[in-house]
Amino acid sequence: MAKKILIADDEQNIVISLEFLMKREGYEVSVANDGDEAVRRIRAEKPDLVLLDVMMPKKSGFEVCQEVKSNPELQSVRILMLTAKGRDTEVAKGLALGADAYMTKPFSTKELVERVRSMLAER
Amino acid sequence: MLSGTVVVAASFAYLLVLFAVAWYGDRRAEQGRSIIANPWTYAMSLAVYCTAWTYFGSVGRAASGGVWFLPIYLGPTLAMSLSWVVLLKMIRISRTYRITSIADFIASRYGKSHLLGGLVTIIAVVGMVPYIALQLKAISSGYSVLTGSDDSGVFPFAAASWFNDGTLYVALTLALFTVLFGARHLDAAERHEGMVAAIAFESVVKLLAFLVIGGFVTWSVYEGFDDIFTRAFADPELAALLSLKTASSAGYGGWFALTLLAMLSVIFLPRQFQVTVVENVNEQHLRRATWLFPGYLLLINIFVLPIALGGLLYFGRGTVDPDTFVLSLPLAHGERALALLAFVGGFSAATGMVIVETIAVSTMVCNDLVMPLLLGIERFKRSNHPDLTGLLLGIRRGAIVVVLLLGYLYFRLAGEAYALVSIGLISFAAVAQFAPAMLGGMYWRGGTREGALAGLLAGFVVWAYTLMLPSVAKSGWLDRAFLDYGLFGLEYLRPEQLFGLGGLDSISHALFWSLTANIACYVIVSLARVPTGQEATQATLFVDVFSRGQDTPATFWRGSAQIQDLQPLVARFLGAERARRMFESYARERGVARIDDLKPDAGLVQFAETQLAGAIGSASARVMVSSVVQEEPLGLDEVMDILDEASQVRAYSHELEEKSQALEAATAELRAANERLKELDRLKDDFMSSVTHELRTPLTSIRAFSEMLLDDPEIDLKDRTRFLGIIVSETERLTRLVNQVLDMAKIESGHAEWHNTDIDMRELVGHAVETTEQLFRDRGAVLELDLPDRAPHLRADRDRLLQVMLNLISNAAKFVPGDTGVVRVRLTCETGQLRVDVTDNGPGIAPEQLGVIFEKFRQGGDQYSRPQGTGLGLPISRQIVEHFGGRLWVQSRPGEGATFSFVLPLPPEAGDGPDRAMT
């Protein structure tokens, strides 16, 4: 059964590229365009992995991450955070909030795919 | 008539009560619960000013001169209300430097001079002896009126010889009382609480007695004030007495002189100095006394005229001495008890004055006359007698007895020749001689020892010649010839018309000449020489007593001292036990555990000298202290240096204070600046972070799609085209962003270039609309243009304004709905400015967004409607508009579209000339 991946980002072009990449890898993909929608979809669809942008309207990636990780029912959801803000503090904050991995934009598509694959293989 | 026994018994009973009061006062003082430490007692003790002279003499004076008795009481009232500041300064100086008499005050001020102290003491003794005699006379004549031993009341007791004279025993009794309460023990502060209590009590007694007699005469003998004055006016002689003409017969000069005399007396009489200054326990009491004491004077004078007139009406003129009306009126009406009360009142007035005066004078005699003489004897100075307190007390007691006996002697010799008031005024005039040296000393730094000496001597000599000698001559003890023809037969030397000055009564005349001579000599001689170091030191300490701290005196000293020398020295005069206690408390003040640990510095020497000054006078204390310490005399220059140094230190510290304030202000400014910098830094960080984010976002898409296209050549054509389109548009976005960031940075840093030209806004707005027409056609939206017929030109950078217009119009175009979108651009001329509105019918802007859309990288709209923009357009537009002095703002409600407007000011000359646009 194909793994489910949620892409949460407000930049349409980035969503398009991520969707294309993930689908090509054979994952089942859904999309959220803001923080609220991301939380809603994670609760409803319980994806195996979320590609989570930090700078989103309504709710930031950090807030989404915190909500997901504090919910016991969603323990199985892996979170890979993506951010255009590459500062160390941002990385540390994301990891402290329970994100499973962190990548800065612009990212290498190969690395991203590798990382997603390995994160999903861990279980 | 009363029997002598009753009167004597009543007098002794009264004295016993006085003893009791004084004893109680001393007891309470020892227990530390002073009964005199309140303003009422203080004010009452000041009323020692009212002597038997007031009690009997005012009536006599009123009987002969009408309201002529008043100046003696107007003076003190004026003095208290006008010059209490002077008194306050005297109190402060005396307390600070342990000054216990007028002689000490003057001696200390002019360089601690023995000579001056001695001179002042002699003047005081010579001046006060008649005054004391006056009190004795009052008592004795009162006694004879009461017992009827002599109806005329002029020659009392009819004593054949001195040992039979009751007055002598009165004098001795008073001497005993004074010794007991005025010189029982030595006190460095020279305070006598018991005595003050007794004096205050006496003041109450004499006031009550006088009021009772006055009431009796007014309402019992006559039928009130109206009655007395009506009757008096009916009598032509008395009416004349009451008219102001009589009062002014002595001329306004006479009134002025007498008032001035009384003013000076209430301040400089030795007994007034004693109660006002030395016995003062709290400076605050003086404030209350400034109106309480005049109130007392007013009360005691209310009945003077009624009693005088009543007596004259009753007895007729020339039958009974008006000085005794207070006694003879009750007697004549058979009121023996009242008469006895009146006598006790007069007795209390007399005793009060005698007690305080002799204490004051004896202090002077001991400290400023006898001690200096003793100290002059080298053997005494070097003697090792450990305790001289007994000697000191002996001297004081002796002085008291001697002064009283002198008073008695004067009374026996000259007493009967003069009315009470005249004797009193002679004393007042003597005391007035202290005024120039005292006042000059407190307010003028230039006064010198020689100046004070010359002034006092001149004043004293003139006083003696114009007042004292004539009074003696009139008593028949001297040849009257010099009175009428002048000394050596020289007319211009006639004592009562000196240098031909006539038309004044003898008191005014004497006061005028003596004070003139006094002041002239004081000032001229003082100016002849620059003050010495010692004089300058004391002058500064006195004149600046309010502004200098108590520690300052210590700085005017240089030398070395031994505590082993100083303590025994103080002990010699104050007793070993008391000296030990004093030094111990001083040590505690200095935070030292034992006396021996005290640093033998200037402060210690000053302390020892001040303690001694209280007991033996400042001049003697100086001599004694300098005999045990090695000191180097300070010259004037050095004192001035020290003063200068002190003032430099003050100025310096003031400067420091100012500097530190300035520093504080600077620190605050720096802190604020630092905060601003931090804030700017934070903003810059935010900006950088935002720019980074904005750059990385398109880069992310570009990289992702490029990699995907590179990795997978198999991607079908449709996707390939689509991806390449995204790459291109993201590259454009990146370019736009870079341009705008640079633009923004230039404008903000002020490095932007502005090419200003005359601009026709109609043309510019039209051009902007034309440029964006394609955009609207693509979206299917409508653009409406509303221009005025003409608009004035303004001066600005055309490209920049076009940039603003394009930004606003394209923003509107992005937000309007595709098919029904309408954007309306309008240009209007307002007074002094041009206005442009760009209105759309888009979704509008939420209220919380209205403020933020002008911030950098804050774009309106949500993710679906967010246009391709950098988030810098509006901030840049606002910067441009504001650069030309205009304003850019937005009005909007969600769902009702938005209107972006800006105004640009017109140049002043073009404001009223749309015609100019045509040219």
**Chain segment A60-90, per-residue pLDDT in tens:** 888 888 888 888 888 888 999 888 876 667 7
Nearest-CB residue to A84 (from B700, B708, B711): B700
What pLDDT, on a 0 to 100 scale, did the predictor assign at position B158?
42
Nearest-CB residue to A21 (from B693, B708, B866): B708
Q: What is the mean pLDDT of residues B411-428?
A: 69
Nearest-CB residue to B697 (from A11, A24, A57): A11
Which of the two residues, B153 and B889, has the higher pLDDT score?
A: B889
Does A50 score more than 90 pLDDT? yes
Give the best-scoring range by mean pLDDT among A20-24, B387-391, B677-681.
A20-24
What pLDDT, on a 0 to 100 scale, did the predictor assign at position B915?
45
Spatial distance between the Cα atoms of B756 and B754, rounded to a whole number of angstroms? 6
Does B742 score more than 70 pLDDT? yes
A104 contacts on B by Cβ (under 8 Å): 696
Domain boundaries, chain B: 4-379+386-417, 433-545, 549-634, 649-747, 754-918
The nearest alpha carbon in chain B to A9 belongs to B863
Cα-Cα-Cα-Cα torsion B392, B394, B397, B403, nearest 10 degrees, comes to -90
- Hunting for tokens 């000449």 — which residue is that? B513
Q: State how far the alpha carbon of B187 is from the alpha carbons of A43, B21, B227, B573, B612, in Å.
A: 100, 20, 54, 10, 10
Say yes or no: A20 contacts chain B, CB-CB below 8 A. Answer: yes
Does B699 contact A105 at a Cβ distance shorter than 8 Å?
yes
- Of B133-142, B262-271, B371-380, B472-481, the poorest mean pLDDT is in B472-481
Q: What is the mean pLDDT of residues A44-57?
A: 89
Backbone angles phi, psi at B219, to 5 degrees: -105, -20
User: Residue B191's CB: how many other CB atoms inside 10 A?
Assistant: 19
Say yes or no: A49 contacts chain B, CB-CB below 8 A. Answer: no
Does B723 score more than 50 pLDDT? yes
The nearest alpha carbon in chain A to B861 belongs to A57
Does B704 contact A17 at a Cβ distance shorter than 8 Å?
yes
Find all residues with CB under 8 Å of B152, minimum gap 6, and list them. B321
User: Residue B822's CB: how many other CB atoms inside 10 A?
Assistant: 17
Is residue B881 within 8 A of residue B901, CB to CB? The reply is: no
Residue B902, strand partner residues: B836, B888
Which of the two residues, B33 and B149, has the higher pLDDT score?
A: B33
| pLDDT-above-90 percentage for chain B | 2
- Hunting for tokens 């209280």 — which residue is that? B614
What pLDDT, on a 0 to 100 scale, did the predictor assign at position B87?
86
Is residue B204 within 8 A of residue B48, CB to CB? The reply is: no
Mutate to test the interface with A, among B714, B863, B864, B865 (most CBs of A within 10 A): B863
Does B707 contact A20 at a Cβ distance shorter than 8 Å?
no
Burial class (CB in 10 A: 0-12, 13-18, 19+), B95: middle
CATH, residue A85: 3.40.50.2300
B417: pLDDT confidence band, cut at 50, 70 and 90?
low
Does B730 contact A13 at a Cβ distance shorter than 8 Å?
yes
Segment B471-495, tens digit of pLDDT = 777 766 666 666 666 666 666 666 6
The nearest alpha carbon in chain B to A85 belongs to B693
Mutate to test the interface with B, among A17, A37, A54 (most CBs of B within 10 A): A17
Does A17 contact B730 at a Cβ distance shorter than 8 Å?
no
Distance from the Cα of residue B646 to its chain's centroid: 22
Q: State how far the alpha carbon of B887 is from the alpha carbons of A62, B12, B278, B800, in Å.
A: 38, 104, 80, 15
- Of B236-250, B259-273, B782-796, the poorest mean pLDDT is in B236-250
Does B711 score more than 70 pLDDT? yes
The nearest alpha carbon in chain B to A35 belongs to B863
- Hunting for tokens 């307002």 — which residue is that? B830
Q: State how far the alpha carbon of B8 is from the alpha carbons of B15, B112, B328, in Å.
A: 10, 46, 18
Does B49 score more than 50 pLDDT? yes
The mean pLDDT value of chain B amounts to: 79
What pLDDT, on a 0 to 100 scale, did the predictor assign at position A31?
92
Segment B362-395, tens digit of pLDDT = 888 888 888 888 877 766 666 666 667 777 888 8
Side-chain half-sphere exposure of B735, counting CA atoms within 13 A: 6
Q: Kind of pairing, strands B898-905 and B833-840? A: antiparallel
Say yes or no: A108 contacts chain B, CB-CB below 8 A. Answer: yes
Segment B338-366, tens digit of pLDDT = 888 888 888 888 888 888 888 888 888 88
A19: pLDDT confidence band, cut at 50, 70 and 90?
very high
Give the best-scoring range by mean pLDDT among B162-171, B532-541, B763-772.
B763-772
Is-cis flag, bond preceding B568, omega within 30? no
Which of the two residues, B856 and B224, has the higher pLDDT score?
A: B224
Say yes or no: A23 contacts chain B, CB-CB below 8 A. Answer: no
The nearest alpha carbon in chain B to A53 belongs to B697
A60 contacts on B by Cβ (under 8 Å): none
Spatial distance between the Cα atoms of B25 and B182, rounded to a whole number of angstroms? 13
The nearest alpha carbon in chain B to A56 belongs to B863
Say yes or no: A109 contacts chain B, CB-CB below 8 A. Answer: yes
Q: What is the mean pLDDT of residues A17-30?
A: 91
B693 contacts on A by Cβ (under 8 Å): 55, 84-85
Q: How far is B709 from chain A (nearest CA, A)?
A: 11
The domain total for chain A is 1
Backbone angles phi, psi at B757, to 5 degrees: -140, 170
- Of B520, B518, B548, B539, the closest CA to residue B441 belongs to B539
Say yes or no: A85 contacts chain B, CB-CB below 8 A. Answer: yes
Residue B892, strand partner residues: B898
Find the helix or strand (DSSP H, E) in which B73 lies. helix B71-82
What pLDDT, on a 0 to 100 scale, did the predictor assign at position B420?
52
Say yes or no: A14 contacts chain B, CB-CB below 8 A. Answer: yes
Does B701 contact A13 at a Cβ distance shorter than 8 Å?
yes
Is residue B477 within 8 A of residue B489, CB to CB? The reply is: no
Q: How far is A20 from chain B (nearest CA, A)?
A: 9
Q: Is B750 left (phi over 0), alpha (psi -120 to 50) or beta?
A: left
Say yes or no: A111 contacts chain B, CB-CB below 8 A. Answer: no
**3-state class percentages of chain B: helix first, strand second, coil last, to nearest 5:** 75, 5, 20
Helix axes B325-332, B336-364, angle to 10 degrees: 160
Does B862 contact A57 at a Cβ distance shorter than 8 Å?
yes
A21 contacts on B by Cβ (under 8 Å): 704, 708
Does B704 contact A85 at a Cβ distance shorter than 8 Å?
no
Position B703, amino acid:
R
Mutate to test the interface with A, among B686, B695, B696, B710 (most CBs of A within 10 A): B696
Is residue B366 within 8 A of residue B399, CB to CB? The reply is: yes
Does A84 contact B702 at a Cβ distance shorter than 8 Å?
no
- As a whole number of angstroms, the longest Cα–Cα distance in chain B is 162
Class of domain B754-918: alpha beta
Position B244, amino acid:
L
B730 contacts on A by Cβ (under 8 Å): 13
Does B700 contact A105 at a Cβ distance shorter than 8 Å?
yes
Q: How far is B656 from chain A (nearest CA, A)?
A: 48
Say yes or no: A116 contacts chain B, CB-CB below 8 A. Answer: no
Distance from the Cα of residue B784 to its chain's centroid: 81
Spatial distance between the Cα atoms of B654 and B552, rounded to a whole number of angstroms? 18
- Of B42-56, B175-189, B774-788, the poorest mean pLDDT is in B175-189
A110 contacts on B by Cβ (under 8 Å): 707, 711
Segment B600-654, tens digit of pLDDT = 677 777 777 777 777 777 777 777 777 776 655 555 566 556 556 666 666 777 7
Find all residues with CB under 8 Å of B630, minimum gap 6, and list them. B559, B560, B561
Q: How far is B745 from chain A (nearest CA, A)?
A: 21
Parent domain of A91: 4-121
The CATH number fitting domain B4-379+386-417, selected from 3.30.70.890, 3.90.400.10, 1.20.1730.10, 3.40.50.300: 1.20.1730.10
- Of B261, B282, B302, the closest CA to residue B79 belongs to B261
Nearest-CB residue to B700 (from A24, A107, A110): A107
Does B693 contact A108 at a Cβ distance shorter than 8 Å?
no
Find the angle CA(B554)-CA(B558)-CA(B561) to the nearest 5 degrees: 85
A24 contacts on B by Cβ (under 8 Å): 712
Q: How far is B848 from chain A (nearest CA, A)?
A: 14
Answer yes or no: CATH 1.10.287.130 is held by domain B649-747: yes
Nearest-CB residue to B696 (from A12, A34, A106): A106
Is residue B53 within 8 A of residue B421, CB to CB? The reply is: yes
What pLDDT, on a 0 to 100 scale, did the predictor assign at position B492?
63
Does B707 contact A108 at a Cβ distance shorter than 8 Å?
yes
Q: How far is B776 from chain A (nearest CA, A)?
A: 23
What pLDDT, on a 0 to 100 scale, did the predictor assign at position B67?
72
Does B187 score more than 80 pLDDT? no
Does A109 contact B689 at a Cβ distance shorter than 8 Å?
no
A108 contacts on B by Cβ (under 8 Å): 703, 707
Does B500 score more than 60 pLDDT? yes
Mutate to test the interface with B, among A11, A12, A13 (most CBs of B within 10 A): A13
DSSP A39-53: HHHHHHH--SEEEEE
Residue B464 DSSP code: I
